[in-house]
Amino acid sequence: MPTLDDLNHAAPGDVVATLGAVFEHAPWVAEAAAGRRPFATVEALLGAMREAVEAAPEAARLELLTNHPELAGRAARDGAIAPDSIAEQASAGLDRLSEAEYARFAALNADYRARFGFPFILCVKRHGRASLLGAFATRLASDPETERATALAEVFRIAAIRLATLVDGPGTPRTTGRVSTHVLDTAAGRPAPGVAVELHEWVSDTETALVARAVTNADGRTDAPLIHGRPVPIAAYELRFRIGDHFRATQPGLPEPPFLDIVALRFGAADPEGHYHVPLVASPWSYQTYRGS
C-alpha cells in the first residue's frame, strides 16, 4: 500500500494509476486531484477528489452515475464489471442469490433506470440485504433531483472506502465499524472462557446468514472483534452463545437439559461506522445484556 507521502511525490501518471478506480470508470477524478498536491491527510485527498466531481460539468457527473453497474445485474453475474464492484457486491451476498432473488433485483433495476435514467447506486458494504432492499424501495419513490443527489452521495461513500484501502497515511476517512462481545459468568464472578459464539445476520424474518464464529479467551472476549476492518452492514443481527456448555464444565451436577443452553441476543446496527459491543452477563439461571464500549 503506497503512503500518502509517496503519492505526494509521485508522477501524475502514477497517481492516476493508483487512484484511477476510486471513482468508477472515472480516472479524470484522480488526475484532477493529482494537480492539487501535496495533501496533509488522506481525508484532504478525498476532499479534493470530491470537489473535482462537484466542479465537473453536469454531463460528466451524470456519466459517472451511469457508469456504475446495476446491483446483482446481468453484467455483475457475468463478472463483466470493475474488480472493486465485484468484491463490493460479493460482500453483500449479491453473487449468491436464488433465481427468484435475481429476478426481483432485475425488476427493481429496470424500474429504477426507467424512472431516473441511471442505475441504482448504493454503498453495499454499509448495508445488509434487507436494508439494501428497503433502500431500493424507498428511493424508487423519490423525485429525480433528490435521487441524483442521493446517488452522488453514495458514490462518495464508495470512494471513501476504496481510498482508505489504497492509501496509508494520517487522517484516513472513518469507514469501518466493529461488533464485539464479552461473556461474564456472574455465578463464578469472572470472565467465561471457552464459550462458542456465533454472529448471524437476519436476512429475512425466517432466514439468517452466518457472519462469524469465535470462542471466548481467558478474558471472556473473542481474540478479534466479530466484525472489524470494514463497515458494519446496517441489519438486524443475532449473537448465539453456547453458555450451557460452559456451565456444564464449570458447575457439574446442574440439571439436564440446562435451564440456559444457547442464549440468543438479537440487536440492530444502524451506524456502519459505529462500535457495537454486545456482552452477555449470565448465570445458569439468568442473563442480561447492554450496549457497552
Residue by residue, DSSP assigns 105-138 as HHHHHHHHHHHHSS-----GGGB-HHHHHHHHHH
Whole-number pLDDT of residue 91: 85
Distance CA 171, CA 40 (A): 8
Contacts of 163 (CB under 8 A, 6+ apart): 19, 22, 42, 45, 46, 49, 173
Residue tagged 453536469 (cell numbers)? 58
Instruction: List 7's β-bridge partners, or say none.
Output: none
Q: Note the pLDDT of residue 106.
A: 92
Question: Over pLDDT 70: what percentage of the chain?
Answer: 100
Indicate the pTM of the whole model.
0.91
Residue 287: beta bridge partners?
A: 282
Average pLDDT along the chain, 293 residues, taken 10 residues at a time: 96 97 96 97 98 97 95 87 90 86 92 96 94 93 96 97 97 97 97 98 90 98 97 97 97 94 97 98 97 92
Superfamily of domain 177-288: Transthyretin/hydroxyisourate hydrolase domain (2.60.40.180)
Contacts of 142 (CB under 8 A, 6+ apart): 150
- Say whether domain 4-166 belongs to CATH 1.10.3330.10: yes
C-alpha angle 103-106-110 in degrees, rounded to nearest 5 = 145
At 204 the pLDDT is 85
pLDDT tens-digit map of 45-67: 999 999 999 999 999 999 999 99
Sheet containing 208-215, strands listed edge to edge, beginning at the edge strand earlier in sequence: 208-215, 196-202, 235-241, 263-269
Domain ranges of the chain: 4-166, 177-288
**The predicted structure's pLDDT at residue 151:** 97
